[in-house]
């Protein structure tokens, strides 16, 4: 049944109705055959965010490549559209065929950001499904999840039948086929899940029991019986160059966040920033070759008509062939006025030179992320950037005619002192002064210098060396922000920072456990939606939700003991069990760890445990160069 047809005429009443019409160029509408397996991907955020998500793109095209699988999409409805659906008593539907969730075999969520957890509940509810997997019926679709925050999914674990840990490309089709096969045999869901849990990377939360001490601390997390694996090991793609990559991108009407021909130049990052969760969950670095990338880009451009290429990864500038790639691209597509953008810059001159290459076609701002204000604190967080690097980079940028640069810093980092905040102020002032100086002495026309300073709050994340650290409290956080505001309050500097409540909430859930599921449901029932969108966050409502469930939010913000059982201890990132602790201790001694791709192996053991190589395409070339 096509649900959308019933509501089509009323879409005029909601904001951005084009979010719900589908029909994009390259949309895949397969014939609804009885024996096909029907998968509905659900992205718990808006259309424009979901459509920019690389993982969703990959899964959609990967599954639809299979003749026996139909994969369609749905996204979180904006509150006005949610209300409309409720008013009309209609369920959420897929963009492709307009069908409701009960017509699908599998509902597959992208887990990408803690603050979209309540949106998962909206989709489940509008699908007519119970929140807890244990309450759902045998005939309900299987609810699965996967994505970038799987290092700790415990707060939402009870909502899912199955969660895939790691990069799913090599396993997802098998899981879906196997499920279908077992389902056709008439097995009960619990039996099916038990069998599926034998597939590497498959985490079935209901097969693990969590016991708590009276103090609230976790006593142990154990599989329900010894047939179930003791822990779930992250899976990954070993040969990225040969891995599937979609080339027939859907071309949305609505301007999405990344509305361009995006290629993933590499996956993983071994720079080892100690606050970064992606640095662990996507380890090690695997690159795609220039040849593969050029081919992919060409096909995507042909298939979409996009006017911009984006080279994306956790650290694009570190790709061994990035310079050659950028040069070839700018030359090849100059006549077609196709521009190139780099998703992230390194803080150095090389980055600026590369950015300049890219700017031949179009002009955008430059962003650098020193992250901390002093060399000491940068050693603690292992951000290998020196003051000289930064000045060189910004000077190069100003000399090339950029008048605006954006600087990223974090506050509330472990061991942070007043001197470190002062360090941020000094760095920003020095950058501003260098810009002014260059502007004064140049004969080129240059707009007044602007430094956009973006301050984010450090949040201790699961499976990082800082997973034991406490979250900075609200008063201190406000004090720090006040200091920066009053000291960076001058012409040419534009300061922005995170909403404190939002950071606290994210922090609670990023190291949360299964007990938080009830809190999520309470907050959702009170109306929490799109909490990450600032304007919707109502912290009071959340505090009430905690109180209702007798849960103290501070319990989740506190420092963890090194020998404490952590909620995600049964999820194995492939790390040497002592690696994070070693890194943590080094951090407290202000001692850095260099990038293993340019130096020795640092013993995280991921390459051995997950049987993967640090796959650097232009390795020899790189060694010669340095």
Question: Is 602 a binder of ligand SF4 (CB under 6 A)?
Answer: yes
| Structure token digits, residue 493 | 């500097």
> Measured from the CB of residue 308, what is the shortest distance to other proteins in angstroms?
11
> Measured from the CB of residue 69, what is the shortest distance to other proteins in angstroms?
23
Give how many residues touch ligand SF4 by CB under 6 A.
12
Residues 351-370 as x/- pattern, contact with other proteins by CB under 8 A: -----------xx-------
**Exactly one of 129, 173, 606, 617 binds ligand SF4 (CB under 6 A); which one?**
606
| Structure token digits, residue 173 | 């089709």
Spatial separation of the C-alpha atoms in residues 367 and 453, rounded to whole Å: 10
For residue 345, give the nearest of 329, 367, 327, 364 by alpha carbon.
367
Spatial separation of the C-alpha atoms in residues 187 and 152, rounded to whole Å: 30
**Exactly one of 102, 105, 130, 307 binds other proteins (CB under 8 A); which one?**
307
Query: What distance lies between CA 265 and its chain's CA centroid?
Result: 16
Spatial separation of the C-alpha atoms in residues 28 and 19, rounded to whole Å: 17
Contact region with ligand SF4 (CB under 6 A), list: 108-116, 292-300, 370-378, 597-605: 597-605
Query: Is 455 in contact with 496 (CB distance < 8 Å)?
Result: yes
Question: Is 28 a binder of other proteins (CB under 8 A)?
Answer: no
Question: Is 21 a binder of other proteins (CB under 8 A)?
Answer: yes
Residues 477-496 as x/- pattern, contact with other proteins by CB under 8 A: --------------------
| Structure token digits, residue 11 | 């879409």
Spatial separation of the C-alpha atoms in residues 112 and 89, rounded to whole Å: 29
Judged by beta carbon, residue 397 or residue 431, the one nearer other proteins is: 397
Residue ranges of alpha helices (H) inside 227-346 are 278-281, 290-304, 322-333
Give how many residues touch other proteins by CB under 8 A.
27
Write out the binding residues for other proteins, residues 218-277 only, by CB under 8 A: 251, 253-255
For residue 26, give the nearest of 294, 274, 306, 350 by alpha carbon.
306
DSSP, collapsed to helix, strand or coil, labels residue 143 as strand
Question: Is 425 a binder of other proteins (CB under 8 A)?
Answer: no
Residues 254-293 as x/- pattern, contact with ligand SF4 by CB under 6 A: ----------------x------------xx---------
Question: Is 24 a binder of other proteins (CB under 8 A)?
Answer: yes
Query: Is 273 in contact with 383 (CB distance < 8 Å)?
Result: yes
Judged by beta carbon, residue 359 or residue 503, the one nearer other proteins is: 359
Contacts of 603 (CB under 8 A, 6+ apart): 576, 579, 582
Half-sphere exposure of 129 (CA within 13 A, CB side): 29
| Structure token digits, residue 179 | 């499920």
Tell me the torsion sign for CA atoms 27, 32, 35, 39. positive
Helix 322-333 vs helix 290-304: crossing angle, to nearest 10: 30
Residues 311-340 as x/- pattern, contact with other proteins by CB under 8 A: -------------------------xx---
**Exactly one of 95, 596, 616, 617 binds ligand SF4 (CB under 6 A); which one?**
596
For residue 157, give the nearest of 224, 209, 228 by alpha carbon.
209
Question: Is 446 a binder of ligand SF4 (CB under 6 A)?
Answer: no
For residue 35, give the nearest of 105, 101, 100 by alpha carbon.
105
> Measured from the CB of residue 16, what is the shortest distance to other proteins in angstroms?
9
| Structure token digits, residue 205 | 């939360």
Question: Is 94 a binder of ligand SF4 (CB under 6 A)?
Answer: no
Question: Is 31 a binder of other proteins (CB under 8 A)?
Answer: no
Question: Is 614 a binder of ligand SF4 (CB under 6 A)?
Answer: yes
Selection from other proteins, ligand SF4, none that 606 binds (CB < 5 to 8 A by kind) is: ligand SF4
Query: Residue 137, preceding bond cis, omega within 30 degrees?
Result: no
Q: Name the residue number minimizing CB distance to ligand SF4.
A: 596
Residue ranges of alpha helices (H) inside 400-497 are 418-441, 474-487
If you count them, how many residues does the chain have? Answer: 626
Question: Is 306 a binder of other proteins (CB under 8 A)?
Answer: yes
Judged by beta carbon, residue 201 or residue 284, the one nearer ligand SF4 is: 284
**Exactly one of 455, 604, 616, 617 binds ligand SF4 (CB under 6 A); which one?**
604
> Measured from the CB of residue 461, what is the shortest distance to ligand SF4 in angstroms?
18
Judged by beta carbon, residue 213 or residue 362, the one nearer other proteins is: 362
**Exactly one of 65, 86, 198, 302 binds other proteins (CB under 8 A); which one?**
302
Q: Which residues contact ligand SF4 by CB under 6 A?
A: 270, 283-284, 596, 601-607, 614
Q: Which residues contact other proteins by CB under 8 A?
A: 8-9, 11-12, 17-18, 21-25, 27, 251, 253-255, 301-307, 336-337, 362-363
């Amino acid at each position: 049944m096509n649900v959308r047809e019933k509501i089509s005429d009323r879409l005029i009443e909601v904001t951005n109705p084009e979010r719900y019409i589908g029909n994009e160029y390259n949309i895949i509408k397969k014939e609804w055959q009885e024996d096909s397996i029907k998968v509905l991907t659900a992205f718990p955020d808006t259309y424009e965010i979901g459509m920019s998500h690389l993982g969703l793109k990959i899964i959609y095209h990967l599954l639809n490549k299979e003749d026996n699988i139909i994969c369609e999409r749905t996204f979180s409805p904006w509150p006005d559209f949610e209300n409309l659906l409720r008013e009309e008593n209609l369920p959420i539907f897929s963009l492709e065929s307009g069908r409701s969730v009960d017509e699908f075999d599998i509902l597959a969520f992208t887990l990408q950001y803690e603050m979209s957890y309540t949106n998962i509940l909206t989709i489940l509810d509008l699908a007519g499904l119970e929140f807890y997997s244990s309450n759902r019926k045998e005939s309900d679709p299987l609810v699965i999840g996967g994505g970038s925050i799987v290092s700790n999914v415990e707060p939402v674990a009870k909502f899912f039948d199955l969660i895939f840990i790691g990069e799913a490309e090599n396993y997802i089709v098998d899981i879906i086929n196997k499920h279908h096969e077992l389902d056709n045999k008439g097995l009960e869901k619990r039996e099916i899940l038990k069998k599926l849990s034998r597939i590497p990377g498959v985490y079935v939360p209901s097969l693990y029991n969590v016991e708590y001490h009276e103090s609230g601390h976790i006593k142990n997390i154990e599989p329900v019986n010894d047939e179930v694996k003791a822990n779930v090991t992250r899976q990954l793609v070993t040969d990225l160059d040969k891995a599937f990559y979609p080339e027939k991108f859907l071309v949305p009407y609505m301007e999405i966040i990344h509305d361009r021909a995006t290629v993933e130049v590499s996956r993983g990052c071994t720079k080892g920033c100690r606050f970064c969760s992606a640095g662990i969950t996507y380890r090690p670095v695997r690159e795609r070759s220039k040849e593969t990338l050029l081919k992919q880009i060409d096909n995507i451009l042909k298939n979409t008509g996009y006017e911009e290429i984006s080279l994306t990864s956790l650290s694009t500038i570190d790709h061994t062939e990035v310079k050659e790639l950028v040069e070839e691209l700018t030359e090849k597509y100059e006549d077609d006025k196709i521009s190139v953008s780099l998703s992230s810059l390194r803080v150095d001159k090389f980055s600026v030179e590369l950015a300049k290459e890219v700017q031949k076609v179009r002009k955008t701002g430059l962003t650098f992320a020193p992250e901390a204000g002093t060399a000491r604190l940068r050693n603690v967080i292992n951000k290998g950037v020196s003051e000289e690097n930064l000045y060189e980079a910004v000077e190069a940028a100003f000399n090339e005619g950029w008048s605006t640069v954006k600087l990223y810093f974090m506050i509330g980092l472990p061991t942070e002192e007043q001197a470190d905040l002062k360090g941020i102020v000094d760095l920003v002032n020095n950058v501003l002064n260098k810009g002014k100086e260059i502007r004064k002495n140049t004969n080129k026309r240059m707009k007044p210098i602007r430094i956009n300073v973006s301050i984010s709050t450090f949040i201790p994340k699961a499976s990082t060396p800082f997973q034991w650290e406490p979250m900075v409290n609200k008063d201190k956080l406000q004090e720090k922000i006040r200091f920066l505001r009053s000291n960076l309050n001058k012409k040419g500097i534009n300061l922005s920072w995170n909403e404190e409540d939002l950071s606290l909430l994210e922090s609670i859930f990023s190291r949360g456990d299964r007990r938080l599921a009830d809190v999520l449901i309470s907050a959702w029932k009170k109306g929490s939606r799109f909490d990450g969108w600032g304007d919707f966050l109502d912290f009071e409502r959340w505090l009430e939700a905690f109180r209702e469930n007798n849960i103290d939010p501070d319990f989740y913000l506190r420092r963890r003991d090194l020998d404490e059982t952590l909620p995600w201890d049964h999820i194995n990132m492939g790390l040497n069990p002592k690696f994070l602790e070693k890194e943590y201790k080094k951090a407290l001694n202000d001692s850095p760890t260099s990038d293993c791709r340019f130096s020795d192996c640092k013993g995280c053991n991921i390459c051995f445990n997950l049987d993967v190589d640090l796959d650097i395409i232009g390795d020899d070339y790189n060694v010669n160069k340095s």
